[in-house]
Structure 1
Amino acid sequence: MTFRNKLLITACALAVLVLVTWAGNYLILNNTFDRGNVSVRVTIPQGATLGQITDSLYATGIIYNRTSFKMAAWLTGKTRRLYPGTYELSPHLSNKTLLYELSTIHLQEVEVTIPEGLRSDEVISILANKLDLDSLELSSLLVDSSLLAKANYGFISLEGTLFPDTYRFVKGAPARATLERLIVNFTNHLKPEWIERAKEIKLRIPDVITLASLIEKETANPNERQLISGVYHNRLRQNMLLNCDPTLIYALVQSGEWDGNIKLEHKDLKSPYNTYKYRGLPPTPIANPGAASIEAALYPADNPHLYFVGKGDGSGEHAFSVTLHDHFNNVNRYQRRNR
């Protein structure tokens, strides 16, 4: 065989090899798998390796060949460029298109509403469920020093500073940044005149928020917030026990003893949140109050009331009184009658 013939054969072999390689790569990148017409949701966690991502895609039926997908990632240079997040993946995706989707940042926004009067553990439950966050990590941040510094004013816990509102979050955002949004919203809502008013009535801002949380938990009636605030201000001035059921409930929730009912023995519970046993305000807020309750805490009604009791008729209204005698009459009239 002449040298020229050998050269021709070699060239043909190389051409076939290139063609086969190109065809193989094309199939690896562009081959699709028919999985019907239903989109599949898949979540790639932070720090997942290519192998873990491949296994997850295979388990959900998005790919049908692990090796083919890994080779496609290598061919496209995307072995380390796949972003964490939650993806809605359409059917019939080729490896090439799938890798493009997974290597492109998709910011999925979620609307989250935090109602007034929730405890911080209840707020955390909402955030964890809606945003796929770790509830334990969120809970640990409630006493984080840098976040407490953001809240300002000397708070010792973030209870009371997770401001109720409707937010839009990017799903998968860091837990710290998520809580910071709520805290910044809280500080932004503290009007300058409220800060001055707190000084005027000689209350620290954490105490104002604590009092507001009691008001928030006692009533949802906007016409009664200032009335209830007036009762608590009057009792504080006279160094009376606040006798606030929601603070005792908070203590029982914290100790894991809350079963939905306050019993007589609970009123002797040794907890600084038990305002049937200890005078003054509890050490922290017992919930996250809204702006209306904060304002009511700062501007109580000017009246002599020292007592109130729920009417128990479904109206959410309370009966207010000045003397203990009148209070007992109201208890007999409204609560015992409804039992």
Structure 2
Amino acid sequence: MKKVIGYSFLILSLIALFFAWKFFGSATAFKDSKKYLYIYTGNANQKAVMQSLKDSGFLKNPALFETVAGRLDVWERLRPGKYEIEKGSSLFTLARKLRNGSQTPVNLVITKLRTRNDFAGLVGRKFESDSTAMLQFMNSNDSLKKFDLDTNTVMTTVFPNTYSLLWNSEPQKIFRKLNEQRTKFWTTERKQKAAALGLTTAEVHTLASIVEEETLRNDEKPTVASVYLNRLNKGMNLGADPTVKFAVGDFSLKRILFGHINSTASSPYNTYRNKGLPPGPICTPSEKTIDAVLNAAKTDYLFFCAKPNGNGYHAFASNDIEHAKNAKTYQQWLDSLNIK
């Protein structure tokens, strides 16, 4: 009798260990270190999730997971999102993750962008919300009003940085996150500096975007900014080549010709034909560049052109004669290299 009881206990123990292994042991069927399960808005239900798990080959035994998930009330608490599944995860771990809505954050890394389309495309590649939805949001003054933005200034809240958001974040939530960075950046001191220049924060941002396109050298950005501020103060046209590139929509242009200027004469972004700043930024300037505008050098420069040697620096001038000399020197250097 004792032997029977002993054998029975052993069998029951083995069965318990088997189910514990099935429940808490490795349940994944993929070779990568991790994969992602995407649960789309509108499809946060048992049928859609199970179909996705089966089609993608996530699990060794999807049917057993379905049972486990049912026992743990996963289907009643399921939420859309992006969920990371690590290789070797157990059925219990996955079920608990889905039940708790433990999404994997998405890092939205913004570097230098130029247009609304660029930003919308980036969002469309990273989030459930596609580029069309983001563009519709950015093209709606009613949507932007709550952020004190309009369709011209909308890109002034897109600061280069890394933003952590959930994959199923809608355009409004994404912009709320971006706006937090803009609000943090525009301290009282910076606002006061903008006012001292006679510019709004949006105008400073727009001017910084031009400076960003003109030079990669951080140490000369305050001087480049001074040129444009001097032109604004004298009522001169900015005459900034990058704004014409923006108006043309071709950022690969190496030289701006009269044809480019004339063909975009009606564009408010053509600063050869229109006085003042364009209505919005032509790229997403770095915070360093915005600060370079706020702390622009005190100069009487009105012109600049590239220096010889191709080191990225510029020669500055206060009048047409000096500028012509600088331009001639640069052209002679190009000619010596047979560069047209």
Superposed pair shares fold, TM > 0.5: yes
**Structural mapping, 1:78-157, within 5 Å:** 78-90=74-86, 98-115=94-111, 118-131=114-127, 133-145=129-141, 148-152=144-148, 156-157=152-153
> Residues of 1 paired with 2:136 and 2:298: CA distance?
41
Cα pair 1:115 1:164 within 8 Å, conserved: yes
Structure 2: tracts of 5 or more residues without a match = 1-18
For residues 272 and 203 of structure 2, the distance between their equivalents in structure 1, rounded to whole angstroms, comes to 18
**For residues 6-48 of structure 1, what are the alpha-carbon distances to aligned partners after superposition, in whole Å with 9 as ceiling and x for unaligned?**
xxxxxxxxxxxxxxxxxxxx8xx96997736544432111221
Partner of 1:248: 244
Larger deviation: 185-194 or 162-171? 162-171
CA deviations over 1:160-206 (Å, ceiling 9, x no partner): 22122233334433332222222221122112133233333332332
Q: 2:213 aligned with 1:217, yes or no? A: yes
SS of the aligned residue for 1:202 comes to coil
Q: Confirm or deny that 1:329 pairs with 2:322.
A: no
Return the alpha-carbon distance in structure 1 between the equivalents of residues 292 and 90 of structure 2.
60
State the Cα RMSD in Å. 3.4
1:62 and 2:58 aligned: yes
User: What's the TM-score, normalizing by structure 1?
Assistant: 0.76
Q: Secondary structure at the match of 2:243?
A: helix
Residue 87 of structure 1: how far off its partner (Å): 2.6
SS at match of 1:224: helix
Task: Spell out, residue by residue over 1:284-337, the C-alpha distance to the aligned partner (whole angstroms, 9 max, x if none).
Answer: 121222333323333432222111112263322111112223323222222453
Residue 78 of structure 1 and its aligned partner are, at CA, apart by 3.6
* Match of residue 206, structure 1, among 202, 207, 210: 202
* Distance apart, 1:102 and its partner CA: 2.5
* C-alpha distance in 1 between matches for 2:94 and 2:288: 50
Matched letter for residue 168 of structure 1: S
CA distance in 2, matches of 1:230, 1:286: 18
Change (3 A) 1:191 1:312: farther
Contact 1:55 1:66 in 2 (8 A): no
Aligned to 1:316: 312
Partners in 2 of 1:183 and 1:93 — Cα distance? Answer: 37
Aligned-pair CA distance for 1:116: 5.4
- 1:219 and 1:87 map into 2 onto residues whose CA distance is 42
Structure 2 counterpart of 1:297: 293
Distance 1:121 1:183 in 2: 19
- SS of residue in 2 equivalent to 1:103: helix
Match of 1:43 among 16, 33, 38: 38
Query: Matches of 2:104 and 2:94 in 1, distance apart?
Result: 18
Secondary structure of the residue aligned to 1:197 is helix
Cα distance change, pair 132–336 in 1 and its aligned pair in 2 (3 A): farther
CA deviation digits over 1:191-226, x for unaligned, max 9? 213323333333233222211221122122222122
Residues 91 and 322 of structure 1: is their aligned pair in 2 closer, same or farther, counting only changes over 3 Å?
Answer: closer
2:259 to 245, 258, 265: 265
Distance 1:202 1:96, change over 3 A: closer
Assess, with a 3 A threshold, how the Cα gap between structure 1 residues 118 and 336 changes in structure 2: closer, same or farther: farther
2: CA distance, partners of 1:300 / 1:66: 63
CA distance in 1, matches of 2:113, 2:67: 53
Partner of 2:10: none
Deviation of 1:136 after TM superposition, in Å, equals 2.1
Q: 1:335 to 1:58 in 2, by over 3 A?
A: farther
Q: Deviations over 1:119-149 (max 9, x none)?
A: 4443444444344542222222224446644
Contact 2:117/2:135 (8 A) holds in 1: yes
Unaligned runs of 5+ in 1: 1-25
CA deviation after TM superposition for structure 1 residue 64, in Å: 7.0
Q: 1:309 to 1:106 in 2, by over 3 A?
A: same
Question: Do the aligned partners of residues 91 and 193 (structure 1) sit closer, same or farther apart at CA in structure 2, a change above 3 Å counting?
Answer: closer
What is the rounded CA distance, in whole Å, between the counterparts of 1:63 and 1:135 in structure 2? 32
User: Secondary structure of 1:223's partner?
Assistant: helix
> Which residue does 1:189 correspond to in 2?
185
Contact 1:160-1:213 at 8 Å conserved across structures: no
Alignment of 1:279-298 (within 5 A): 279-298=275-294
The CA distance in 2 between the partners of 1:133 and 1:59, in whole Å, is 23
